[in-house]
């Protein structure tokens, strides 16, 4: 499979148009048919109607969450694949997503989730923060990427074990169900408030990652060369880890674990940016958003009766698709 | 004034001393060769001189100024460093790889300027890589890849080039090509330092040689001063036949000496 690189502006414009189209479609999808124009007019004129209620309280937050979380996962995946110079890296590799998931699970476990709506996202963010502190302590002054990956493996293992422990000793079956459903990953039944808590962290994370674009390009030639090109490799690696932790931690804290977006999207986009790590960042951001919004539309169309969780769907489709991609491109991989 | 000078440079990993009390100087217009057996500390010395690693003691002056006083950006513009076995990790085009040499001149939000493109073109002409500018770098032969990596350094237009074993694993044609490019660079106010295992190439192309052994400077001087059978035998543990002609000195290893281990 051979693709030709597309210049930056047409590529980003094309992806932007695709995103606008799928986002609009996402607003149309749901059990009730509503008119977007009518609902918007009602909202502007501050008239309450079923249409405006559905659009602004249910569908818009859901579509926006899918957009921002997909974008975050696409960007973070591209950044980590660039940092590790390995196409198998994904946002979960440094352990922050499992840390955030554990934070949220503990909120469920102790029953705070029903006391205040913001307990869950804050629990997730706290979990992500603790993971970053642990990574800092484990790695210290090490220059090696391997130490960073091993720290991620350790945090993932500990996080997974503690999540299992919480399920094991859950106070009641209802709590188990809540935890399991949340862990499967979804953007449904979230309010705009939850998005507002997560959004600043995501945007700060995006800014940090995009700032490191030139560094990721220099890393194409290895760390020693990047260092000779004027980059402080140790400092910039930390900067990137913090950027990924802030954005992915925030994403997981409101939506749970949504797999494969961060792995698959950079793969899909990479040939179109000529494999250049810096150009991959923005394109993967848009690509991730398109893919997750589309996946959420599919989830809603496919669900009848019980809800198919978004995280389940992305893994279900992402896994085989990834296999197909490997089969198609295995001869061109390094 | 010397282009670069290192005085009393030492480097340790834990308790293990890698380099001890090395003095080195590169004058404008000079191609300096670092020679010595495997593990002598040549690559470490290059990493210290390019500021990729910090020396535990000693001082490095760049045109009389402490090298640490230069900003990282300024250093990256003036000093080019070709690492040992340089390779690209992503299948990017040759032109893009060479374009990476312009990073020290670019702001984080900006793409390549017209001047950047011009310098990249110039670098491709110097290294004769223009013919495969649109090829994917990972599909090139070892020799071609080395030239591309060298072109990346020329795109930066540095005053001083450090190259760590640039001709290792290259055929004679490419070996001579790379050495000629480095020789041509080291003129007027510019200079180059190259780590070599091929003693004949070192003798023929370099103005001065530093022979390093066990992390210490064994001797330094012109190729004819350094390339003596005694020096080579003492440091490398091999008997050599050394011949001279109009082209310079040739050093041919003949046999190993007893159980000497460098």
Q: Which domain holds residue B53?
A: 4-256
Q: Find the mean pLDDT for residues A318-329.
A: 82
Using DSSP bridges, classify how beta strands B31-35 and B191-195 pair: parallel, antiparallel or unpaired. Answer: parallel
Distance CA A257, CA A159 (A): 13
Tens-place pLDDT, residues A101-142: 999 999 999 988 888 888 988 999 999 999 999 988 888 777
Write the DSSP string, B157-203: --SEEEEESTTTT--HHHHHHHHHHHHHHSSTT-EEEEE-S-HHHHH
Burial B55-90, CB ≥16 within 10 A → b, else e: beebebbbbeeebeebeeeebbbbbbbbbeebbbbb
User: Does residue B104 fall inside a structural domain?
Assistant: yes
Distance CA B74, CA B72 (A): 6
pLDDT at position A331: 65
> B87 and A277: CB-CB below 8 Å?
no
pLDDT at position A1: 46
On whether any CB of chain B is under 8 Å from the CB of A229, the answer is: yes
* Assigned token pair, A309: 């969780």
Distance CA A270, CA A280 (A): 6
Distance CA B55, CA A219 (A): 23
Tens-place pLDDT, residues B1-34: 899 999 999 999 989 999 999 999 999 999 999 9
Q: Is the pTM of this model over 0.95?
A: no
How many Cβ pairs within 8 Å bridge chains A and B?
Answer: 76
- On whether the CB atoms of residues A296 and A22 are closer than 8 A, the answer is no
Q: Is B255 helix (H, G, I), strand (E, B) or coil?
A: strand
How many domains does chain B divide into?
1
pLDDT of A306 above 90: no
Residue B16's DSSP bridge partners are: B13
Q: Find the mean pLDDT for residues A93-103.
A: 92
Tens-place pLDDT, residues A16-56: 999 999 999 999 998 888 888 888 888 888 888 888 889 88
- On whether the CB atoms of residues A63 and A27 are closer than 8 A, the answer is yes
Q: Find the mean pLDDT for residues B40-66.
A: 95
What is the length of chain B? 262
* Assigned token pair, B17: 């001393």
- On whether the CB atoms of residues B93 and A274 are closer than 8 A, the answer is yes
Tens-place pLDDT, residues B111-120: 788 999 999 9
For chain A, the average pLDDT equals: 90
- On whether the CB atoms of residues A129 and A104 are closer than 8 A, the answer is no
Distance CA A318, CA A249 (A): 21
pLDDT of A222 above 90: yes
Chain B residue with minimal CA distance to A211?
Answer: B108
Model confidence band, residue A333 (pLDDT cutoffs 50, 70, 90): low
Q: Which residue has the higher pLDDT, B138 or B262?
A: B138
> A214 and B73: CB-CB below 8 Å?
no
Nearest to A5 by CA among A273, A330, A320: A273
User: Does residue B261 fall inside a structural domain?
Assistant: no
On whether any CB of chain B is under 8 Å from the CB of A213, the answer is: yes
> B89 and A225: CB-CB below 8 Å?
no
3-state SS string for B151-166: HHHHHHCCCEEEEECC
User: Does residue B210 fall inside a structural domain?
Assistant: yes
Distance CA A157, CA A177 (A): 22
Distance CA B183, CA B161 (A): 11
List A residues 82-121 in contact with B (Cβ-Cβ < 8 A).
85
What is the length of chain A? 334
On whether any CB of chain B is under 8 Å from the CB of A230, the answer is: yes
Phi then psi for residue B53, to 5 deg, are -120, 150
Tens-place pLDDT, residues A257-281: 998 999 999 999 999 999 999 999 9
Q: Find the mean pLDDT for residues B58-72.
A: 94
Distance CA A249, CA A131 (A): 10
pLDDT at position B261: 60
pLDDT at position B156: 96
Tens-place pLDDT, residues B209-228: 999 999 999 999 999 999 99
The distance of A221 to chain B (nearest Cα, Å) reads: 5
Q: Is B31 helix (H, G, I), strand (E, B) or coil?
A: strand
pLDDT at position B262: 55
Model confidence band, residue A293 (pLDDT cutoffs 50, 70, 90): very high
Within chain A, residue ranges assigned H as helices are 8-28, 36-44, 50-53, 60-84, 96-109, 119-139, 145-168, 173-184, 192-211, 213-218, 223-228, 233-255, 261-269, 277-302, 310-329
Model confidence band, residue B259 (pLDDT cutoffs 50, 70, 90): low
User: Does residue B51 fall inside a structural domain?
Assistant: yes
Q: Which residue has the tokens 């205040």?
A: A116
* Assigned token pair, A229: 């090109």
Structural domain boundaries in chain A? 8-329
On whether any CB of chain B is under 8 Å from the CB of A274, the answer is: yes
On whether any CB of chain A is under 8 Å from the CB of B103, the answer is: yes
In Å, what is the CA distance from A131 to each residue of A96, A110, A126, A266? 6, 20, 9, 25
**pLDDT > 70 in chain B, percent:** 98
User: Does residue B201 fall inside a structural domain?
Assistant: yes
Q: Is B245 helix (H, G, I), strand (E, B) or coil?
A: strand
Q: Find the mean pLDDT for residues A161-179.
A: 91
pLDDT at position A30: 85
On whether any CB of chain A is under 8 Å from the CB of B8, the answer is: no
Q: Which residue has the higher pLDDT, A178 or A265?
A: A265
User: Does residue B262 fall inside a structural domain?
Assistant: no
- Look at domain A8-329 and name its CATH class: mainly alpha
Nearest to A85 among B89, B111, B152 (CB): B89
> B81 and A222: CB-CB below 8 Å?
no
Q: Find the mean pLDDT for residues B84-92.
A: 92
Distance CA B242, CA B255 (A): 13
Q: Find the mean pLDDT for residues B57-83.
A: 95
Distance CA B151, CA A128 (A): 43
pLDDT of B169 above 90: no
Q: Which CATH number goes with the domain that contains B192? A: 3.40.50.300
Identify from A143, A221, A222, A272 which residue to disrupt to test chain B contact, counting B C-beta atoms within 10 A and taking the largest count: A221
Model confidence band, residue A323 (pLDDT cutoffs 50, 70, 90): confident
Tens-place pLDDT, residues B225-251: 999 999 999 999 999 999 988 878 899
């Amino acid at each position: 499979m051979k693709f030709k690189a597309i210049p930056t502006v047409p590529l980003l414009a094309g992806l932007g148009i695709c995103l606008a189209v799928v986002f609009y479609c996402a607003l149309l999808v749901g059990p009730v048919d509503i008119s977007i124009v009518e609902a918007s007019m009602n909202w502007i004129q501050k008239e309450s109607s079923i249409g405006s209620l559905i659009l602004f309280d249910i569908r818009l937050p859901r579509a926006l969450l899918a957009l921002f979380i997909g974008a975050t996962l696409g960007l973070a995946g591209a950044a980590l694949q660039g940092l590790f110079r390995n196409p198998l890296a994904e946002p979960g590799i440094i352990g922050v997503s499992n840390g955030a998931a554990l934070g949220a699970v503990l909120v469920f476990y102790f029953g705070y989730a029903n006391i205040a709506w913001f307990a869950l996202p804050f629990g997730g963010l706290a979990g992500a923060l603790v993971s970053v502190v642990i990574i800092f302590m484990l790695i210290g002054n090490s220059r090696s990427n391997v130490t960073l990956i091993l720290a991620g493996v350790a945090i993932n293992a500990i996080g997974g074990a503690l999540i299992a422990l919480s399920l094991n000793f859950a106070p009641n079956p209802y709590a188990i169900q809540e935890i399991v459903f949340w862990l499967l990953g979804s953007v449904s039944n979230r309010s705009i408030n939850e998005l507002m808590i997560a959004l600043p962290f995501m945007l700060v994370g995006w800014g940090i990652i995009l700032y490191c674009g030139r560094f990721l390009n220099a890393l194409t030639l290895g760390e020693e060369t990047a260092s000779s090109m004027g980059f402080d490799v140790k400092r910039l690696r930390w900067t990137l880890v913090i950027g990924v932790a802030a954005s992915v931690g925030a994403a997981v804290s409101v939506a749970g674990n949504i797999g494969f977006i961060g792995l698959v999207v950079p793969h899909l986009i990479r040939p179109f940016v000529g494999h250049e790590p810096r150009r991959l960042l923005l394109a993967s951001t848009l690509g991730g958003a398109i893919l997750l919004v589309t996946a959420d539309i599919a989830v809603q169309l496919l669900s009848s009766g019980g809800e198919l969780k978004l995280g389940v769907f992305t893994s279900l489709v992402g896994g085989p698709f990834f296999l197909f991609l490997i089969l198609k491109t295995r001869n061109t991989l390094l | 004034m010397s282009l670069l000078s290192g005085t009393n440079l030492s480097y340790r990993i834990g308790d293990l001393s890698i380099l001890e009390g090395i003095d080195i100087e590169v004058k404008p217009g000079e191609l300096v060769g670092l020679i010595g057996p495997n593990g002598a500390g040549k690559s470490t010395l290059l990493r210290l001189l390019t500021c990729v690693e910090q020396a535990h003691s000693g001082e490095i002056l760049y045109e009389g100024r402490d090298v640490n006083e230069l900003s990282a950006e300024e250093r990256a513009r003036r000093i080019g460093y070709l690492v040992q076995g340089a390779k690209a990790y992503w299948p990017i085009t040759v032109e893009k790889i060479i374009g990476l040499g312009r990073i020290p001149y670019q702001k984080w939000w900006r793409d390549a300027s017209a001047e950047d493109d011009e310098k990249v073109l110039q670098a491709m002409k110097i290294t004769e890589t223009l013919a495969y500018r649109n090829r994917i770098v990972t599909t090139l032969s070892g020799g071609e890849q080395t030239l591309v990596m060298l072109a990346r350094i020329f795109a930066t237009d540095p005053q001083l080039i450090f190259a760590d074993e640039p001709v290792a694993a290259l055929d004679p044609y490419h070996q001579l090509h790379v050495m000629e490019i480095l020789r041509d660079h080291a003129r007027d106010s510019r200079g180059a330092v190259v780590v070599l295992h091929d003693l004949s190439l070192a003798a023929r192309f370099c103005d001065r040689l530093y022979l390093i052994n066990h992390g210490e400077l064994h001797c330094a001087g012109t190729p004819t001063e350094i390339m003596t059978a005694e020096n080579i035998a003492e440091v490398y543990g091999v008997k050599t036949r050394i011949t001279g002609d109009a082209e310079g000195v040739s050093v041919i290893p003949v046999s190993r000496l007893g159980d000497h281990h460098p």
